[in-house]
Structure 1
Amino acid sequence: MPTTICVINQKGGCGKSTTCFHLAGALASAGRRTLLLDVDPQGSLSQGFLGSVAVETLPADETMAALFGENRNYRSATQLIRASGFENISLVPANQHLAAFNTPYPEQLGLRQFALREFLSTATDFDVVLIDCPPNLYRCSWSALLAADEVVIPVPPEDFGTQGLVAVHQTIRWAQQLNPELRLLGHLVTRRDQRLLIHRMYEDRIRLLYPDTVLKSVLPEAAAFKVSLAGRTPVEFDQPRSVAAQMTRLLADELLACSAREMDGQTMHTGGLMR
């Protein structure tokens, strides 16, 4: 079974989609068969690979929305999974059709809150699954947590980026009641500009607040990320010698090393957060 990592934060602009996009490239380059699940109705991750027009015109039954309808209109995982154009990277896209299901009060979904978990039970031909969540803690994010093995929380080192983390942590704890195997891999500092004193100060603060659950790897505010994304190519394939690509490879290595599955079942210590 693949390792499933949910990338979540209720704040927009934290780098969730960017992280998934470029991290997929690093994992794929390392030979990991990677499946991306876009559960954000904005479809940013999907558009990164397929382009805006192609994603926006997809019918609902060819997107993530097919999983959440009253009469789930898909036959198997293979019907929704599509090629990304890059070896070892596959994608289940999302667009505006998913918005109707991403409303508050996830418990009202009934059994449909387990739709992603059920779907992934049939998608076994992968090593890693990355789930890109919307900038809220509504039904799509909740379903992602119930389907995931592990959680990564991207956090920009600035005031707005760190706001709302308490709510994210609480939602993870609630999800663990229905998914006891769910683990926090860590907070990921994203969009850091080492030249800015305020960024260095906020990163120090995050590491002080969560000393056991902040990843060593950092994703910088780098032009290479944006240029590669504009070309619909993960930075690993577009600019492999760039600092951005090097940092993304370090992140991939750290996540795989920290992953409970990669550690052959060893107990992963989660610090004070999840106690």
Structure 2
Amino acid sequence: MTTTISVINQKGGVGKTTTVINLAARFAELGKRVLAFDLDPQGNLSTVLSGGRYEFNMTVADLFDKPKRVDIQATIIQGEANKEPIPNLYLVPADIRLSKVIEQSLTQIHRERILMRHLDKLDGQFDIILLDCPPNLSLTSTNAMMAADMFLIPVDGGSFSLNGLADLLDALEEVKETENVPYFAFRNERAKQNKLINEFLDEQLKGLRDRVGTNDKSGVLNSCIRREESIGQASVTSMPLRYYRPSALATMDYKELATEVLNKINELQR
């Protein structure tokens, strides 16, 4: 059974792309067949997981531009690191053209279901599909909301990282037409020395736990990704962290996050 996970937060710079990069690499390492789906016109995920490419024959823009004529299989490429294929890891890339195509797609019938219909055609080809969403609630984000089975919400070390979270959760519940949306927030880029901000965010996340109430499918994960320069360095060199610096402390953090997410997937599938 395929599980589609949307990594989403309408605030930019909270680490959505690095989360997808490193979770995808870890899941693939564990033998899961993974498809990373870039829904951000900036295309940073595409560059890193393709081993440094910036141009692609076909991208997610083609899926939105001509949804009835383009086969999703034609857009999937093998993930790479160090000029070598990453076993079990595949990518649907994006580029800046996606911005224009999305504007044009606003007139299409059932436009919020375009992605879901493409993913339905994969027919269990992958164990996990990871959707890297843009930092807004655009049509691509709405498509990701409609298609996803689970939502991961990274919260970084900025004092405004939870701004708009209530609006995001309201949007998820509206799109999914249920109050029992399986969403999980987690701390990302946590700096141990920032005690004041850490205490503030921890208190705010307690409020999120209170909002969950009787929805035992959602909450705050125990996993926490520490702030580490090697994470950014790995992205600059177009590699997941485990390929760039396997011994980095954050590599262990991503392993723990991946394990916790897999446990949540198992719980949801019971």
CA distance in 2, matches of 1:71, 1:87: 29
Q: What is the aligned partner in structure 1 of residue 74 from structure 2?
A: 79
CA contact (8 A) 2:64 2:105 kept: no
Q: How many residues align?
A: 256
- Read off the aligned partner of 2:75 and give its amino acid letter: L
Q: What is the aligned partner in structure 1 of residue 188 from structure 2?
A: 190
Q: Which structure 2 residues correspond to residues 117-128 of structure 1 after superposition, within 5 A?
A: 117-123=116-122, 124-128=124-128
CA distance in 1, matches of 2:191, 2:174: 34
CA distance in 1, matches of 2:108, 2:240: 35
Q: What is the aligned partner in structure 2 of residue 219 from structure 1?
A: 225
Shift of 1:22: 1.0
Structure 2 unaligned spans of 5+: 81-85, 213-218
Q: Which structure 2 residues correspond to residues 42-121 of structure 1 after superposition, within 5 A?
A: 42-50=42-50, 54-55=53-54, 57-58=55-56, 62-70=58-66, 72-74=68-70, 76-85=71-80, 86-103=86-103, 109-121=108-120
Q: Residues 69 and 142 from structure 1, CA distance in 2 versus in 1: closer, same or farther, beyond 3 angstroms?
A: same
Shift of 1:105: 10
- Read off the aligned partner of 2:49 and give its amino acid letter: F
Q: Which structure 2 residues correspond to residues 30-41 of structure 1 after superposition, within 5 A?
A: 30-41=30-41
- Read off the aligned partner of 2:134 and give its amino acid letter: P
CA distance in 2, matches of 1:93, 1:187: 25
Shift of 1:168: 0.6
Could you tell me which of 256, 260, 264 is aligned with 1:254? Answer: 260
TM-score with structure 2 setting the length:
0.87
- Read off the aligned partner of 1:69 and give its amino acid letter: D
CA distance in 2, matches of 1:194, 1:6: 28
- Read off the aligned partner of 1:219 and give its amino acid letter: I
Aligned residue for 1:126, secondary structure, equals coil
Q: Which structure 2 residues correspond to residues 149-228 of structure 1 after superposition, within 5 A?
A: 149-177=149-177, 183-211=181-209, 213-228=219-234
CA contact (8 A) 1:149 1:182 kept: no
CA contact (8 A) 1:218 1:247 kept: yes
Q: What is the aligned partner in structure 2 of residue 13 from structure 1?
A: 13
CA distance in 1, matches of 2:246, 2:237: 14
* Deviation per residue, 1:34-84 (Å, 9 max, x gap): 1001011111111122366x32x335xx0001111256441x222111001
TM-score with structure 1 setting the length:
0.86
CA distance in 1, matches of 2:203, 2:105: 32
Structure 1 unaligned spans of 5+: 267-275
Q: Percent identity?
A: 30
**1:2 to 2:2 alignment:** yes
Q: What is the aligned partner in structure 2 of residue 271 from structure 1?
A: none
Which portions of structure 1, spanning 4 or more consecutive aligned residues, are displaced by more than 4 angstroms? 103-106
Shift of 1:33: 1.0
CA contact (8 A) 1:11 1:164 kept: yes
